Amino acid sequence: LRLKNADSFILAATFALTVLFDLIIGVATGLLLAFVFFIRRMSEATRIHNQETHPVLAKREDPSVSMYAIEGPLFFGSIDSLESSLLE
């Protein structure tokens, strides 16, 4: 069984907290950690590319119009990377 480092950490923390404290505390903490690592992983997976060579842009009348291609999940966790890419 091969696990990523984050998954191994979540498993160990959930197990330790369940043994040391209570099942409810262990499972709740495990779910919270899994949620945090999921949000972090998904926010890093979003990529944004400027589409300056797209044929539609050749016909534009306003040079301030831009086109971007967004690859990956787009949700509240990826807004910071989206905003920084658009402002570059």
Residue 57 predicted with pLDDT over 90: no
Report which of residues 31 and 6 the model is more confident about. Answer: 31
Host domain of residue 50: 46-88
Do residue 56 and residue 79 come from a single domain?
Answer: yes
Do residue 62 and residue 50 come from a single domain?
Answer: yes
Cβ 78 vs Cβ 46: under 8 Å: yes
State residue 79's pLDDT score: 76
Do residue 37 and residue 20 come from a single domain?
Answer: yes
Helix (H, G, I), strand (E, B) or coil at 17: helix
* Residue 70 vs residues 4, 45, 48: alpha-carbon distances, Å: 26, 11, 5
Do residue 2 and residue 39 come from a single domain?
Answer: yes
Mean pLDDT along residues 19-31 = 97
Do residue 40 and residue 72 come from a single domain?
Answer: no
Domain total of the chain: 2
At which residue do the structure tokens 């409810």 appear?
24
Do residue 52 and residue 71 come from a single domain?
Answer: yes
State residue 21's pLDDT score: 96
Average pLDDT, the chain: 81
